[in-house]
Amino acid sequence: MSRIGQNPVSVPDGVDVNITGQIISAKGKLGELSLTLVDEISIDQDGNKLTLSPKDNSKRARTMWGTSRSLVQNIVTGVSEGFTINMEIVGVGYRAALQGKNLVLQLGYSHEIQFPIPGDITITCERPTAIAISGADKQKVGHVASQIRGLRPPEPYKGKGVRYSDEFVLRKEGKKK
């Protein structure tokens, strides 16, 4: 029995949810997202609550029950509130700036890195060493954040690089004489 799948998804005010067969689409103030559910899961709408349940007792239906409920929760939350990931840049001379539709990063290489910003993602730089990535689709926001982090991941000796703001970098001790 899925403990996550049992909980209904509450739809906040200002979000319209349409269910057509296995396709669920949500429209809110931050845009419109849709999701195709697997065939083993059924969804019912009762007022402002969405309830997911497995159609049979197969192993795949039970495993996809909680996953599908989390995906539906993510699209409903995404169109109403959105998702934000904050990142920090640590290192002497490391910085970020916005130029048009590109994020320009100076990360200790001999050249600047021009990172094109996808159309449905918003990136802001409060400081030259702080980046905030936000959008309605949680998967895309996380993917863009991981791509930016992958340009210069934090190294364990001095901690230099691009990291998530809540990430802890395990530091190593340098060599001794």
Q: Which tens digits make up the pLDDT trace of 127-172?
A: 999 999 999 999 999 999 999 999 999 989 988 999 999 888 888 9
- Kindly indicate the confidence band of residue 45, based on its pLDDT and cuts at 50, 70 and 90: confident
Q: What is the pLDDT of residue 104?
A: 92
Q: What is the pLDDT of residue 131?
A: 92
Whole domain around residue 125: which residue ranges?
83-164
Strand (E) positions, the chain?
Answer: 9-10, 16-20, 23-28, 31-36, 41-46, 49-54, 83-90, 95-99, 102-106, 113-116, 121-127, 130-135, 161-164
Q: What b-and-e string marks burial along 68-105, b requiring 16 or more CB atoms within 10 Å of the CB?
A: bbebbbbbbbbbbebbebebbbbbeebebeeeeeebeb
Q: What is the pLDDT of residue 124?
A: 92
Tokens of 9: 């998804």
Beta-strand pair 49-54/9-10: antiparallel
Q: What is the pLDDT of residue 140?
A: 92
Q: Is the pLDDT of residue 120 over 90?
A: no
First to last CA, the chain: 58
Taking only the tens place, the pLDDT of each residue in 66-114 is 888 899 999 999 999 889 999 999 888 899 999 989 999 998 889 999 9
Q: Are residues 116 and 52 in the same domain?
A: no
CATH number of the domain to which 39 belongs: 3.90.930.12
Q: Are residues 12 and 63 in the same domain?
A: yes
Last residue of a domain, one of 80, 105, 132: 80
Last residue of a domain, one of 26, 61, 80: 80
Q: Are residues 111 and 70 in the same domain?
A: no
Quote the pTM value. 0.84
* Phi, psi for 174 (deg, rounded to 5): -70, 175
Q: What is the pLDDT of residue 1?
A: 56
Any idea what the Cα angle at residue 135 is, between residues 21 and 79, rounded to 5°? 40
Last residue of a domain, one of 22, 45, 80: 80
